[in-house]
Structure 1
Amino acid sequence: MATEHHPITPRRVSFDWRETPLHWIPDEPTATHVINVLHLLLPAGERWFVKVFKEALPLVRDPELLKDVKGFMGQEATHSVQHSYVLDHLAHQKLDTGPYTRQVDFLFDVLLGERPPFGLPVSEREWLRFRLSVIAAVEQFTAVLGDWVLRADALDAARPDPVMLDLLRWHGAEEVEHRSVAFDMYQHCGGDEPGRYARRVLGMAITAPILTYLWGRGAAYLIRHDPRLAKRLRYTLRHHKRAVDKGLLPTWGELGAAIPRYLRRSYHPSQEGSLSRAVAYLAASPAASRGRAPGGAVAS
């Protein structure tokens, strides 16, 4: 584990979606819905993170790591709930995400559930290690995205809905804050080398293309079913690139470069992003501030 240690603490947050428009980045439906894919994937995905970590808790022998893992689980559970509320808000605005999210549920609950799918002859311990490697790989991308959204000045200039921007930056800041936990958990529980490193490579080799596919398919789904667009717009790479050029989405280079970094044998996620920037935003976040009582205590 890295020498620097930062306590991982779940925060109570509160968002009011009543005034948030469907296109929360004005006149930018593609950027809006590419980012909205987060709400499609994260409720089920982060519930799954918590389930897998619960299975692995008995394997943790390091008290400091155990404390971090429990903090991570608390943060991820909160993320899942808050993004679920956004799905309710989209449904209220006549954008039904159910057909897509049911497929995401199938991915996490069945294909990546407690037992290997299709009767695959994989031991219980090996299946758990594989799923931990997938979580570590996913968290590499969430740390990169979290750091990006904290630095994305172009989002501010585009006059987005402030509640949605706060959700994204609060979540992104916590992803940077706990960027190392899933990796440390995998390294701790992933067995001996060289198998541990090989499984880490496998986890990324599976995660990167599946995330890319799910994201593109999710953006296409949202744009196709957006009642305000009435099928007048399709999701295309040209439209996506236009949003990237405006600074409203991260570049493919930023995301792609995260893969070879992760695959270095000497790599540790504490090298990703700026912890000081993340902590500063968490101290200023309107949603996190509403969850704190006077005197710094957490509101009940």
Structure 2
Amino acid sequence: MNSLSTQTDLSTRVTHDPHADPGPVTLHARDVAFDFEKTPLHWIPGHPMASNVISMLNLLLPEGERWFVATYNEALPLVADEELAATMRGFIGQEAMHAEAHDKVLWDFLDRHGLDPRPFQRQMQWLFRKVLSPKTSWTPDAQRKDLVERLWLIAAIEHYTAILGDFALNNTWRAHGSDPAMTDLFTWHGAEEVEHRCVAHDVAAYFGDGYLRRGRAMFMALSGLLLLIHRGSRFIAKSDPYQKYSYRRMWTEYARGARAGVLPTLRSIVFATFSYFKPTFYPDQIGSTAQAVAYLAASPAARGAGR
């Protein structure tokens, strides 16, 4: 069976029934193993720019995921609710595995294709290890407030990772003959983002809920992510050894990719941003746990690591 038919069969198996509720899911990190030896730089055939935009996430994610882990390890001793603490430990394990998997891509994929990730990686290290690190010289009260702000910032960012996770489970990459390894990497990661989409919101609310605080964190997350994604996309486009893009062509190619279903539409991102501000909003309104768990049970990388 060729790789395209294998991916299509997998996609068919994990199409979700919106009424199928798997019930409470215990979060845990899954061992995964990816081999990018045969993965081309433009891993979605016919869509080099879309391939680069998705691959750009490998530049952002490792340091961001490690910051999530460090912040939750800082918050965990302050949580008296054992059920929430157990969920946090599962979240920490998954995020740590995400960081490790995407860090591998930097060197086994991007660097091997002649696209040096080091300049952008240093910027991410400065942002997450310096700017967003705990302020140990502050008073205990100020440190506590800063922790709560960072937890709400993570919750706002996780709103977007859940949206992208749902997109990863429901896009047209496979129909376009995408590379199996890279497709599985992002679909596995996206499925876990959908699986644990409520955790960051619950943790932030435990430490201090408030509509104004939520809104402030969303504004910071949205503006920060737009800046990082824009910079990352420009960086990878300029560094691409096979294709060169003008700024105008970048946007033209993005629009073409969105129409083809290999990139999320800007309209869907805007709509999802506004949904966060609804008083009745809760993260389980995004995606399907049943679909996510079904994919995670069938993921080639997870099954391969198990063997």
Q: How many residues align?
A: 283
Find out whether 1:85 has 2:104 as its counterpart: yes
CA shift digits 1:144-198 (9 cap, x unpaired): 110111011x2111111100000010000000000000110101112xx5xx322
Percent identity reads: 43
TM-score by length of 1: 0.90
Q: How many angstroms does 1:54 deviate by?
A: 0.6
Find out whether 1:127 has 2:146 as its counterpart: yes
Find out whether 1:105 has 2:105 as its counterpart: no
Find out whether 1:144 has 2:158 as its counterpart: no
Spell out the pairing of 1:139-218 with structure 2 (5 A cutoff): 139-152=158-171, 154-190=172-208, 196-218=210-232
Query: Which ranges of structure 2 fall in alignment gaps of 5 or more residues?
Result: 1-22
On the 8 A contact 2:63/2:99 being kept in 1, the answer is: yes
Q: How many angstroms does 1:28 deviate by?
A: 1.4
CA shift digits 1:241-297 (9 cap, x unpaired): 11111111011121112222222232211111011110110111000111225xxxx
Q: Which residue, 3, 14, 17 being the options, matches 2:33?
A: 14
Comparing 253-262 and 158-167, the one that deviates more: 253-262
Specify whether residues 47 and 12 from structure 1 end up closer, same or farther in structure 2 by C-alpha distance, changes over 3 A only.
same
On the 8 A contact 1:11/1:288 being kept in 2, the answer is: yes
Match of 2:83 in 1: 64
On the 8 A contact 1:49/1:76 being kept in 2, the answer is: yes
**In 2, distance between residues paired with 1:251 and 1:18?**
30
AA at the equivalent of 1:172: G
**In 1, distance between residues paired with 2:41 and 2:228?**
21
Match of 2:14 in 1: none
TM-score by length of 2: 0.88
Query: Which ranges of structure 1 fall in alignment gaps of 5 or more residues?
Result: 294-300
CA RMSD in angstroms comes to 1.9
On the 8 A contact 2:237/2:245 being kept in 1, the answer is: no
AA at the equivalent of 1:246: A
**In 1, distance between residues paired with 2:169 and 2:58?**
18
Match of 1:53 in 2: 72
**In 1, distance between residues paired with 2:180 and 2:118?**
26
